Amino acid sequence: MEQVRLYYDEMDSPIGILTLISNGEKLVRIEYGELKDRGDQMDKWLIRYFGDVAFIHSEDKMEPVINQLQAYFNEQKRDFTLDFEFNGTPFQQKVWQALVDNIPYGETRSYKDIAVAIGNPKAVRAVGGAVNKNPFSIIVPCHRVIGVGGQMVGYNGGLDKKEYLLAHEKHI
């Protein structure tokens, strides 16, 4: 089996280093931390959706992504216009698309709201599991999903990052 080439770059942000990964045409993942520190969960995801991967550092391929994220953090951009590719189960993809379609900048929704939006109001726990596996932190706004009572609950990057992102978006 031939190795799949994935391109990456890392950027500093107010919430730490972000690793950006592309297949050369579309963004496939944003990960908190450095590529060298990726965990088992990301490795399993890579194997499942790409097989044998060769990472190639490429500032050029990631420049549009970095520019948009920097504009977001500099309070100059609210919406992203990036090509990205969801790699997940059909249910996960449905949930991730619902995050993009149903949670405007600066607003929040509950896990139950998302379950209702995808037409499966009893799937609140499954929605939570899909939100936790969102491969596009910030761009696909999983940080805008909160508990039904308004409480901060789980965030793959840590609650401190979620709180920062929500406060950042309320500021503009």
pTM of the shown model: 0.90
Confidence of residue 42 (pLDDT cuts 50, 70, 90): confident
Distances in Å between the Cα of 130 and the Cα atoms of 21, 89, 138 are 20, 9, 15
- Give the pLDDT confidence score for residue 1 in this predicted structure: 65
| 5 HSE (CA, 13 A, CB side) | 7
Domains and their CATH numbers in the chain: 4-74 (3.30.160.70), 90-169 (1.10.10.10)
Confidence of residue 172 (pLDDT cuts 50, 70, 90): low
Residues 6+ apart with CB under 8 A from 134: 96, 99, 140, 142, 156
| 99 HSE (CA, 13 A, CB side) | 26
For the chain, the average pLDDT equals: 91
- Phi-psi sector, 84: left (phi>0), alpha (psi -120 to 50), beta: beta
Assess whether 142 carries a catalytic annotation: yes
Which tens digits make up the pLDDT trace of 47-84?
A: 999 999 999 999 999 999 999 999 999 999 999 999 99
Residue 136 has pLDDT above 80, yes or no: yes
- Give the pLDDT confidence score for residue 40 in this predicted structure: 82
Q: Are strands 4-11 and 18-22 parallel, antiparallel or unpaired?
A: antiparallel
For 124, the 3-state DSSP assignment is: helix
Q: What is the mean pLDDT of residues 37-43?
A: 83
- Candidate list 15, 65, 118, 142, residue with the active-site label: 142
Which tens digits make up the pLDDT trace of 81-128?
A: 999 999 999 999 999 999 999 999 999 999 999 999 999 999 999 999
Residue 154 has pLDDT above 90, yes or no: no
